[in-house]
Copies of this chain bind each other. A is one copy, B any other.
Amino acid sequence: MSSVRSKTFVWWLLAQLCLAAVSYSQNKPASWTPQELTDLANIEKTALTSNYGYEQLSYLTDSIGPRLTGSPQHQAAVNYVAGEMRKLGLEVTLEKAIVPHWTRGNERGELVSYPGQSKNLSQKIVLTALGHSVATPADGLTAEVVVVNNLDELHALGRERVTGKIVLFNREYDKRVRDAGYSFEGYGDAVRYRAIAPIEAVKLGAVATLVRSVGSAEFRLPHTGLTMYDPHLSKIPAAAVTAEDADLLARLTKRGPVRMKLLLQTETLAPVTGYNVIADLKGSQFPDQYVIVSGHLDSWDLGTGAIDDGAGVAIAMQAVQTIQQLKLRPKRTIRFVAWVDEEGGISGALQYVKDYPAASHFATIESDTGAGHPIGFVTDSSPQALETMQPIAPILQNMGVIVSRTTEEAGADISPLSIGGVPGFAPLMDSRTYFDYHHTAADTLDKVNPTDLRENGALVGVLSYALATLSTPLPRVPKPIPDWMK
């Protein structure tokens, strides 16, 4: 009996909660006027037929090319984007930030001895230095390779069997996870070895470290990306080998000792001044409240930075260009930002929160997941924020944008503002092929479908104007500061 009564109570409670929700939804103030909803529909419609974003991306990739932080190409891109924003009539600021200046130089891997080797023959190992890696000696270093699949296997080897060696972390990007639609979760799992490899390897006496490229395609392409050092430990050279070469090393080391020569002629130069490109479309009622719409202008140097993240910058440019073309005036200021140094440690974004208080920001958007067809949008804030945005759902549905959900982090550059409680948003895209090309030489313009890019421009245009005209506040949920940012 008591069980039945208990169930009845639960049903009663659920019914009350539903009634309360309906009542809340009916009584809350309308977020947008009918005219504003018409304006939002026009933004979408206009952006969906515009080539503006794709032309910007073409210029950034075809004419400027890779935009490594601190490079002349990055500076050329800053000048170009600032010029384009001025042409649109926006108020442009170049925000200075001290950024790292690292260059790649020549790089090479070669097996010098291995099981089954014929006299005087060697095998090439295709690799690329990880971002910020120190160099090897000028004529390279030669050492035995040990292969581990995870940290436990490294620790099981112990100092004796690691000292003087090159450690390969052979963690595979799980394509089954990608195929199921969880590209970024697969990336998150494998990428931590890229970050910690030189720290964990040197603790046991390794002289260099390799990681299996974090990526989903196997075309003997090395995938670069940032690695980390512990300032209290010595810095050892770190490179990514291709999936094929990681497999080769794993097979050969099972048969016997493998010695490899590694040459990385990287240079870590003195930090230089870089710039966040900031361009404001002033708000009519609350010009000191900002809605950021952004991507990062820097890229790695192997490809031309089309999907990571020329596309994000082009999407943000398309969003503000469309609003400006329609002569719409948001209540709050829409602030376009092309961040510097996302790839090298978000020094641009960290400078930004020193120069501009989180309190003056209403919301942020960053697009940094390529330019696949958008299926929805995410927020790093609360379910209530998604609920507030519901009235724009029918507009977004027109182009197949139907999902809205919360996420841990909406974008690396906007995460410092999210920590301060500013709700962050991002498009949610079909990203199944993203990690095929990410951080490789194959990140080039042809990987971006112009229609998909337009859809993202339309989505970010609608989202940014909706946030900048919203009549109700969004809940602000401050987040804990992650260890690495302290």
Selected contact of A62 from candidates B116, B218, B440, CB within 8 Å: B116
Flag whether A444 is at the interface (Cβ < 8 A): yes
Please determine whether A59 and B116 come into contact, CB atoms closer than 8 angstroms.
yes
Given A65-B123, A251-B62, A218 and B446 contact (CB-CB distance below 8 Å) = yes
CA distance A124 to B124 in the complex (A): 22
CA distance A378 to B441 in the complex (A): 39
Flag whether A415 is at the interface (Cβ < 8 A): no
Flag whether A115 is at the interface (Cβ < 8 A): yes
Q: A64: which B residues are within 8 A, CB to CB? A: 116, 118, 121
Flag whether A117 is at the interface (Cβ < 8 A): yes
Please determine whether A442 and B121 come into contact, CB atoms closer than 8 angstroms.
no
Chain A contacts with B in 97-129, Cβ cutoff 8 A:
114-118, 120-121, 123-124, 126
* CB closest residue in chain B, given A123: B65
CA distance A340 to B442 in the complex (A): 34
Flag whether A303 is at the interface (Cβ < 8 A): yes
Report the minimal beta-carbon distance from A221 to chain B, rounded to whole angstroms.
Answer: 6
> For A62, A65, A217, which residue has the most chain B Cβ atoms within 10 angstroms?
A62
Selected contact of A220 from candidates B126, B221, B248, CB within 8 Å: B221
Flag whether A436 is at the interface (Cβ < 8 A): yes
* CB closest residue in chain B, given A64: B118
CA distance A221 to B440 in the complex (A): 11
Flag whether A76 is at the interface (Cβ < 8 A): yes
- Encoded as 1 (CB less than 8 Å from any B CB) or 0, chain A from 62 to 89 comes to 1111000000110010011000000000
Please determine whether A63 and B118 come into contact, CB atoms closer than 8 angstroms.
yes
CA distance A62 to B247 in the complex (A): 10
Please determine whether B58 and A251 come into contact, CB atoms closer than 8 angstroms.
yes
Please determine whether A120 and B244 come into contact, CB atoms closer than 8 angstroms.
no
Flag whether A445 is at the interface (Cβ < 8 A): yes
Given A116-B62, A251-B62, A73 and B441 contact (CB-CB distance below 8 Å) = no
Please determine whether B441 and A220 come into contact, CB atoms closer than 8 angstroms.
yes
Q: A252: which B residues are within 8 A, CB to CB? A: 62-63
> For A72, A79, A117, A218, which residue has the most chain B Cβ atoms within 10 angstroms?
A218
Flag whether A24 is at the interface (Cβ < 8 A): no
Chain A contacts with B in 439-468, Cβ cutoff 8 A:
440-442, 444-446
* CB closest residue in chain B, given A75: B118
Flag whether A219 is at the interface (Cβ < 8 A): yes
Please determine whether B114 and A63 come into contact, CB atoms closer than 8 angstroms.
yes
Q: A217: which B residues are within 8 A, CB to CB? A: 219
Chain A contacts with B in 209-241, Cβ cutoff 8 A:
217-221
Chain A contacts with B in 111-153, Cβ cutoff 8 A:
114-118, 120-121, 123-124, 126
Selected contact of A76 from candidates B80, B118, B444, CB within 8 Å: B118
* CB closest residue in chain B, given A436: B219
Selected contact of A444 from candidates B65, B220, B440, CB within 8 Å: B220
Q: A243: which B residues are within 8 A, CB to CB? A: 446
Q: A121: which B residues are within 8 A, CB to CB? A: 64-65, 72-73, 76
Q: A118: which B residues are within 8 A, CB to CB? A: 63-64, 72-73, 76, 79-80
> For A64, A79, A116, A220, which residue has the most chain B Cβ atoms within 10 angstroms?
A220
Please determine whether B442 and A247 come into contact, CB atoms closer than 8 angstroms.
no
Given A244-B446, A303-B220, A446-B247, A65 and B441 contact (CB-CB distance below 8 Å) = no
Given A126-B441, A219-B436, A220-B444, A120 and B72 contact (CB-CB distance below 8 Å) = yes
Please determine whether A220 and B440 come into contact, CB atoms closer than 8 angstroms.
yes
Q: A441: which B residues are within 8 A, CB to CB? A: 126, 220
Report the minimal beta-carbon distance from A55 to chain B, rounded to whole angstroms.
Answer: 11
Instruction: Give 25 CB contacts A-B under 8 Å.
Output: A58-B251, A59-B116, A62-B248, A62-B251, A63-B116, A63-B117, A63-B118, A64-B118, A65-B121, A65-B124, A76-B118, A76-B121, A126-B441, A217-B219, A219-B219, A219-B440, A219-B442, A220-B303, A220-B440, A244-B445, A244-B446, A247-B445, A248-B444, A248-B445, A251-B445
Q: Return the 10 tightest CB-CB contacts between A and B, nearest first.
A: A63-B116, A219-B219, A76-B118, A220-B442, A244-B444, A220-B441, A219-B442, A65-B123, A247-B446, A219-B221
Known: A73-B118, A219-B437. 5 other contacts (CB 8 A): A63-B115, A76-B118, A76-B121, A80-B118, A219-B442
Interface residues of A, Cβ cutoff 8 Å to B: 58-59, 62-65, 72-73, 76, 79-80, 114-118, 120-121, 123-124, 126, 217-221, 243-244, 247-248, 251-252, 303-304, 436-437, 440-442, 444-446
